[in-house]
Structure 1
Amino acid sequence: MTDRSQDRFQDRAPTLAEIEAIAFDAFAQLPHAFRRLCAGVRIHVDDFPDDATLDEMECESEYDLLGLFRGTGLAQAGETTTGQMPNAVWLYRRPLLDYWAEHDESIGHLVTHVLVHEIGHHFGLSDEDMARIEAQAEA
């Protein structure tokens, strides 16, 4: 989904299904090798993180978390244990929309950025690693 096809979101907020479609389209546009390493990672979109997640992440507000990776990253991958949940990326629609409303970027760019950031955790990158990589890419 290109930024131009998202022009319809200038007058209204995208629905859960539309954010999900943007995320799946963004994922499909990633390089094949990158996607291949993400085999089995599920993408979910909810309006907000649940209370347990907010407590675990020590969030002050339900708007503090735009996305989250849950699972075992590639760097920690080993044998799967019984009952282990599949790796997943969660995107939170309402916090994304709140951020989008306050910044000058398209919703597609924002969703893609958060999705790639959370997938970075699947690769074993810390927030600090990703900030350093982004800073180098912008230089």
Structure 2
Amino acid sequence: MNRHFGSTPSAADFEALAHAAFARIPAPFADHLDGITVHIQEYADAETLAAVGLTDPFQLTGLYHGRPMSEESVWSSGQFPPRITLYRQPLLAEWRQTGVRLEDLVTHVVVHEVGHHFGLSDEQMHDLEQDQP
């Protein structure tokens, strides 16, 4: 999806970009993404920032909420389905500062958060990214 935005991209634009990113995730990974929902918020709230050890809302562009697949059990019940939250204002700021295509930026954040769904840590994902040509 190569989109040109006439004005500041809306929350609906971000949601469409996130769904397009999900659609590009290949099998067998895509086979394990059923039920993950995407939510768009302007910024992370103070409680969320504190939970991840941050204070500046512009430092958090996305967050996975849920139990990693490696920790799921048939005995777990009453839990909300996993979700990914994208924080619109920090993503817009990074887009403007870096010049990276917004589609690529959103895809990067979605894939990163999907990595958490599969139980990967930030450090493991960073190492994987460094190994890419």
TM-score bracket, shorter-length normalisation: over 0.9
Separation in 2, partners of 1:110, 1:102: 12
Q: Which residue of structure 2 lines up, in the alignment, with residue 118 of structure 1?
A: 113
> Where does 1:1-139 land on structure 2 (aligned, <5 Å)?
1-2=1-2, 6-7=3-4, 9=5, 12-138=7-133
Structure 1 gap ranges (5+): none
Separation in 1, partners of 2:47, 2:56: 13
Q: Which amino acid aligns with 1:86?
A: P
CA contact (8 A) 2:59 2:90 kept: yes
Post-superposition shift, 1:57? Answer: 1.4
Q: Which amino acid aligns with 2:24?
A: Q
Q: Which moved more, 1:36-45 or 1:115-124?
A: 36-45
Where do 4+ consecutive residues of structure 1 move more than 4 Å? none
Identity %: 38
Number of residue equivalences: 133
Separation in 1, partners of 2:15, 2:102: 12
When normalised by structure 1's length, the TM-score is: 0.89
Q: Which has the higher helix share?
A: 1
When normalised by structure 2's length, the TM-score is: 0.92
Q: Which amino acid aligns with 2:15?
A: E
Deviations 1:24-83 (A, max 9, x none): 011112213222111111111111112221121122211110000011101111135343
Separation in 2, partners of 1:39, 1:82: 17
Q: Which amino acid aligns with 2:48?
A: T
Separation in 2, partners of 1:88, 1:80: 20
